[in-house]
């Protein structure tokens, strides 16, 4: 008798954080100038995530690119008329850009920058699981490979996952969800939808610790707690705001509090400081007493994006994202479904 397909995610090997040599102000200025020239020569635009190095975020803004969450990165790339999109982030972000824009060249600073969620959801095992539940609608987080997306009915990002699953529930649909069990469980709790959750977790958010967070909250009783929904339930339960990177940034700007405890990748602090310079940002703890952390609130794959790796990739042109055409035409369907849904929602809410 064959073993039934399970929801178990395979173990993921987390690399050490890359150690980039420190740059003097002069070296940084020279490197930045070289990158700007290469971008112009190659008619390229930077599309950067909030978790990347602040130098890259600043450069993306300065050169007419974008700094955004994963949904907005996808939209920006699709709307841009640049010939080359240089995606500073992790692999699934580059792949999404390529799937949506097969006619454009998509480069990344380092193609090895994967994501623990993507790694923890191999396409064959996931597909077998979906096959075993044909009466379920398949919803996958954007943090997945092109092959997993190609098996899905819907792709979602953290900023749009809730309304999409609400919509599916209203239609009486049951959901297979992958890969992040914490985000999946949060959505299940908020919507009451019938969901089967893949057993994956992201290395950054998985490490936020609830007891240590309680202690930090006692030390800062006036602080608002902002949590990305990839975090475990016990951390989410302590949040004043649960949301995508963009939603958390907006909370810092709009809430009256002066102090914020933030449970997501520390790369986001650059944008928060930029938009609300007088507010105090406190990193949520990633380790309790005696505990250790692997990612320590910064994704080691995101950290592969640096001025150095970007300059090298533009110069060598050897970090190009390729997606087989037959795969791309399947994977684009659930991504477009998400973008169409977001567009249809926008006039009603006025924003995401």
The binding site for ligand 13P (CB under 6 A) comprises 69-71, 143, 157-159, 202, 230, 244-245
CB of 6 to ligand 13P, least distance (A): 24
- Of 274, 279, 216, the C-alpha closest to 252 is 279
- What's the CA gap between 279 and 261, in Å, rounded? 11
CB of 32 to ligand 13P, least distance (A): 25
CB 236 within 8 A of CB 182: yes
Nearer to ligand 13P, 31 or 155 (CB): 155
CB of 21 to ligand 13P, least distance (A): 27
CB of 56 to ligand 13P, least distance (A): 15
Nearer to ligand 13P, 32 or 159 (CB): 159
Nearer to ligand 13P, 264 or 308 (CB): 264
Nearer to ligand 13P, 35 or 152 (CB): 152
CB of 95 to ligand 13P, least distance (A): 13
- Of 87, 94, 99, 146, the C-alpha closest to 121 is 146
Contacts of 287 (CB under 8 A, 6+ apart): 207, 209, 212, 293, 296
Nearer to ligand 13P, 53 or 230 (CB): 230
CB of 89 to ligand 13P, least distance (A): 8
Nearer to ligand 13P, 55 or 206 (CB): 206
Nearer to ligand 13P, 86 or 204 (CB): 204
CB of 298 to ligand 13P, least distance (A): 12
State the CB neighbour count (10 A cutoff) for residue 220: 16
């Amino acid at each position: 008798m064959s073993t039934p397909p399970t929801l178990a995610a395979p173990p993921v090997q987390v690399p050490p954080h890359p150690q980039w040599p420190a740059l003097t102000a002069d070296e940084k200025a020279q490197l930045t100038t070289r990158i700007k020239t290469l971008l112009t020569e190659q008619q390229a635009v930077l599309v950067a995530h909030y978790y990347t190095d602040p130098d890259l975020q600043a450069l993306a803004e300065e050169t007419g690119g974008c700094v955004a969450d994963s949904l907005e990165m996808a939209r920006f790339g699709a709307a841009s008329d640049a010939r080359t999109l240089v995606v500073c982030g992790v692999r699934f972000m580059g792949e999404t850009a390529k799937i949506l824009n097969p006619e454009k060249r998509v480069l990344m600073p380092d193609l090895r920058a994967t994501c623990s969620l993507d790694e923890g959801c191999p396409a064959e095992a996931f597909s077998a699981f979906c096959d075993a539940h044909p009466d379920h609608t398949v919803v996958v987080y954007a943090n997945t490979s092109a092959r997993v997306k190609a098996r899905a009915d819907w792709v979602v990002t953290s900023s749009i996952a809730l309304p999409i699953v609400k919509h599916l529930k209203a239609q009486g649909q049951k959901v297979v969800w992958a890969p992040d069990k914490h985000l999946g469980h949060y959505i299940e709790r908020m919507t009451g939808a019938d969901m089967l959750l893949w057993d994956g977790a992201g290395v950054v958010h998985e490490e936020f610790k609830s007891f240590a967070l309680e202690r930090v909250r006692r030390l800062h009783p006036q602080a608002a707690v902002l949590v990305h929904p990839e975090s475990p339930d016990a951390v989410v339960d302590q949040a004043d705001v649960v949301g995508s990177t963009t939603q958390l940034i907006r909370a810092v700007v709009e809430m009256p509090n002066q102090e914020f405890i933030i449970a997501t990748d520390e790369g986001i602090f650059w944008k928060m400081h930029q938009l609300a310079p007088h507010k105090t940002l406190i990193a949520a703890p990633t380790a309790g007493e005696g505990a250790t952390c692997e990612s320590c609130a910064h994704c080691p794959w995101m950290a592969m994006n640096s001025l150095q790796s970007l300059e090298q990739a533009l110069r060598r042109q050897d970090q190009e994202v390729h997606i087989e055409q037959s795969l791309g035409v399947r994977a684009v369907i659930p991504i477009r479904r998400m973008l169409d849904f977001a567009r249809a929602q926008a006039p009603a809410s006025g924003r995401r």
